[in-house]
Amino acid sequence: MRVAVIGAGPAGIYAANILTAEYDGASVDVFDRLPAPYGLVRYGVAPDHPRIKEIIRALSLILAKPGIRFVGNVEYGRDITLDELRMFYDAVIFATGAAADRSLDIPGIHLPGSFGAADFVSWYDGHPDVARDWPLDARQVAVIGAGNVALDVARMLAKTAHEQLVTEIPDNVYAGLAANRGTDIHVFARRGPAQLKFTPLELRELAHSPTVDVVVHPEGFEIDESGERAAQQNRQTKQVLNTLMQWLGEPAGDKPHRIHLHFCEAPVAVLGDERVEGLRTARTELRADGTAHLTEQHTDWPVQAVYRAVGYLSSAVPDVPFDAEAGVIPNRAGRVVGDDGAVVPATYVTGWIKRGPVGLIGHTKSDAAETIANLLADRDRLTPAPSPDPDAVLAFLSGKGIVHTDGAGWARLDAHERTLGEQAQRARIKVVERDEMVRIARAEHRAAVSPPLVLAEPPRLR
């Protein structure tokens, strides 16, 4: 059985692992549009969270398994189509994830100075397809959201560039953060502290910086009956509340930067004529079911930039059905279904593009297992690929002028980034330019790079 997986993030890699483990005759090519694998683990995790990226070690062992091959720098829908894939594979699994920002439909949200959190994350994570510069001239900044991405954005905006120089950030990101003028970062949650999606560890890390004070504002700090029940039933909710209550009402110290946490404040408009000049919020009231409802009590906050961290959203995939409202490929337990409700033969889906951007790594594994179970149940009905030779698809791509990377190339790029890091007393420094990533991966020449920034005594991450 020959199977193509589109997307080399955790969902796609887990699907390949489960399939090859459960079916001896399976061989899987895992495609990605980027030259490097791992998706949001590489390009969606804050650089000062290296322990989260430990998952890369497990994923790399999977990609090195016999029967699994990484094919990078190949964009589905542009470099190869679904009909073309069917020439080489018996089945196709889409694991393209969710990397776009969910929209926030309020007046002024498209003013200059209003940003999506996913775009900012891509910038500070050195994504090859985003601009190298980021405007960081606002002193007062609003971050809209009540999840870990909102905390990541707030922390990256508040911490000094010097503190980040122990991480893997490339030099352009260091230079951008060094020019950051922000002093006060305001995080707004539309519901109360018991309804937050923060994890306790992420929340506590806000206070680990020697240059940042955390200020929890008492206005709107409401724990209703549903919140009390949540704290009793959920250990993480209780830990989050305990941390917040330790900070509640404590005045800001003398540190140069502050992260302000506001609760029961819902954004209703971004203010300004030609660019962001403020954010208007409405106080919310919590109902018995835990939902938040707007009141007529409004507050205008004098911020000069707004970041929305209200969730990720999947993008449509060419030649495959897509539910734009839900942001998923319609499916039944991983089998893709068309607009008429009929199953699309030999076409499957897993990960966030299957179920939406929710759940942790454990959910991703069980989700992939469900999809693979159904693929294997269908195996007698799959049409064998006309050209199943593993070399055939690579020859096809080369014939179209598509330059791809592979597992050995990723190993070379990985080693190169680690060498850059060692020279600067860091674990890694990312290569940002796509062409340079490809050249290093394909060993076409030794990259000529500027010496990385080095600290005589690099700060320690706490």
Per-residue pLDDT tens for 125-158? 999 999 999 999 999 999 999 999 999 999 999 9
- Considering the domain architecture, whether residues 186 and 300 belong to the same structural domain is answered as yes
The residues that bridge with 308 in the sheet, in sequence order, are: 116, 144
Question: What burial letters (b/e) apply to 264-280, b meaning 16+ CB within 10 Å?
Answer: bbbbebbbbeeebbbbb
Q: 271 among the known binding-site residues?
A: no
Do 61 and 124 belong together in one domain? no
222 falls within a domain: yes
Q: What is the mean pLDDT of residues 21-47?
A: 96
Name the nearest CA neighbour of 126 among 167, 181, 72, 179.
Answer: 167
457 inside domain: no
User: Known binder of ligand: residue 191?
Assistant: yes
272 is in an annotated binding site: no
Query: What is the rounded distance in angstroms from the CA atom of residue 2 to the CA atom of residue 289?
Result: 49
Single out the residue in 249, 281, 312 at which a domain terminates. Answer: 312
- Pair (340, 372) in one structural domain: yes
156 and 90 fall within a common domain: no
Please check whether residues 90 and 188 belong to one and the same domain. no
Using the 3D structure, point to which of 296, 312, 328 is the last residue of a domain: 312
Structural domain contains residue 417: no
Same domain, 337 and 228: no
* 40 labeled binding residue: yes
For the segment 295-333, what is each residue's pLDDT rounded down to a tens digit? 999 999 999 999 999 999 999 999 999 999 999 999 999
The model's confidence at residue 17, banded by pLDDT at 50, 70 and 90, is very high
CA distance 460 to 164: 10
Last residue in a domain, options 312, 327, 358: 312
Do 157 and 273 fall within a single domain? yes
46/118 same-domain check: no
Contact present, 319 and 311 (Cβ < 8 Å): no
| Structure token digits, residue 212 | 């940042």
* CATH code of the domain containing 10: 3.40.50.720
Q: Which residues on neighbouring strands pair with residue 76, listed in sequence order? A: 80
Answer yes or no: is pLDDT of 198 > 70: yes
Domain count, the chain: 2
Neighbours of 336 (CB within 10 A): 22
Residue 65 structural domain: 2-99+314-403
**Per the annotation, does 190 bind a ligand?**
yes
- How far out from the chain centre does Cα 224 lie? 32
Q: Give the pLDDT band of residue 445 (cuts 50, 70, 90).
A: low
Q: Cα separation of 409 and 444, whole Å? A: 11
Is 202 flagged in the annotation as binding?
A: yes
| pLDDT band (50, 70, 90) for residue 51 | confident
Same domain, yes or no: 260 and 297 = yes
Residues 193 and 322 in one domain: no
Let me know if residue 421 belongs to a domain. no
Residue 455 lies in a domain: no
Output the pTM of the full model. 0.92
Lowest-pLDDT range, 29-38, 166-175, 222-231, 234-243?
222-231
334 is known to lie in a ligand binding site: no
* CATH code, domain with 132: 3.50.50.60
| Residue 110: pLDDT over 60 | yes
Residues 369 and 397 in one domain: yes
Residues 266 and 329 placed together within one structural domain of the fold = no
Per residue in 218-233, pLDDT tens?
Answer: 999 988 888 888 899 9
